[in-house]
Structure 1
Amino acid sequence: MSLKLMLLLTFAGFLTISCENNSPNDLEGDIPANVTYTEHVRPIIQSNCIACHQDPPINGAPMPLTDYEKVKQAVLTRPLLDRISRTQGAEGMMPNGGQRLPQYKIDIIAKWQAQNFQN
């Protein structure tokens, strides 16, 4: 076996071994071209926030996030995007006591805001 071939196979082996993903926060999803509350934002809120941000809120949550208007107001007048964007374990990070949302989900909510809160 030639030295070049052996080096190439060794390099390819290192690449294969080093390429893995152990963190759900590193996983990416598609960010739709047009983000709507009903199709994109609501499912994120329902699966990550409603446990505490129900109506009435529990576990110290300051407001409900149970419908379009309440979530929109939380983005506009409360630090919703800031709180979900904080690093894992940072003070005030949401969801409280849980795993930080994957970045693509945070980006979906930010894009919803940038696109003027389509319902």
Structure 2
Amino acid sequence: MKNVLTVFVFAFLFLLSCSNDSESDLTGPQTGNENEFVTYNDNIKAVISNNCLSCHSSPPTNGAPFSLTTYTQVKNRAENGSLLAAISKQTGEAGAMPPTGRMPQATIDLVEQWIADGLLED
């Protein structure tokens, strides 16, 4: 009986330790029309505003080394690969952004699609 209880406790703890993926983590970026390109003003600006500007403002705060307040600043970071590299890292990994926790995979995919679409502004 003690072995059964031990197995049950370990199984219960194992189930509690599993992560919970939301539907937005599992589905691709939602741009409305799959034939449309992802653009900075329509899609990426809100991502940057909601996840980056608390530190990457103008002037930068909390030790952020650069601003991400304009299209050109964000585009430059996307072109050199540092934007996607930082947001693709796992929470707790050195250089992972935002430091408050990883964005949903669908949001990261949206940024990746914006880069693939040519970093369009409008």
What is the TM-score of this pair, normalised by structure 1? 0.74
* 2:41 paired with 1:43: no
SS at match of 2:108: helix
2:120 alignment counterpart: 118
* 2:51 paired with 1:53: no
Q: Unpaired segments of 5 or more residues in structure 2?
A: 1-18
Identity among equivalent positions (%) equals 39
Residues 87 and 103 in structure 2, CA contact (< 8 A), matched pair in contact too: yes
Aligned pairs (5 A) from 1:1-119: 22-24=20-22, 26=25, 28=27, 30-32=29-31, 33=34, 34-77=37-80, 79-96=82-99, 98-119=100-121
In structure 2, relative to structure 1, the CA distance for the partners of 1:81 and 1:56 (3 Å cut) is same
What is the TM-score of this pair, normalised by structure 2? 0.72
**Paired amino acid for 2:120:** Q
Larger radius of gyration: 1
For residues 107 and 39 of structure 2, what CA distance do their matches in structure 1 show? 13
Q: CA deviation at 1:29?
A: 5.7
Q: Unpaired segments of 5 or more residues in structure 1?
A: 1-20
1:13 alignment counterpart: none
Q: CA deviation at 1:77?
A: 2.6
Alpha-carbon RMSD across the aligned residues, in angstroms, is 2.1
Moved over 4 A (4+): none
For residues 41 and 88 of structure 1, what CA distance do their matches in structure 2 show? 21
Q: How many pairs does the alignment contain?
A: 99
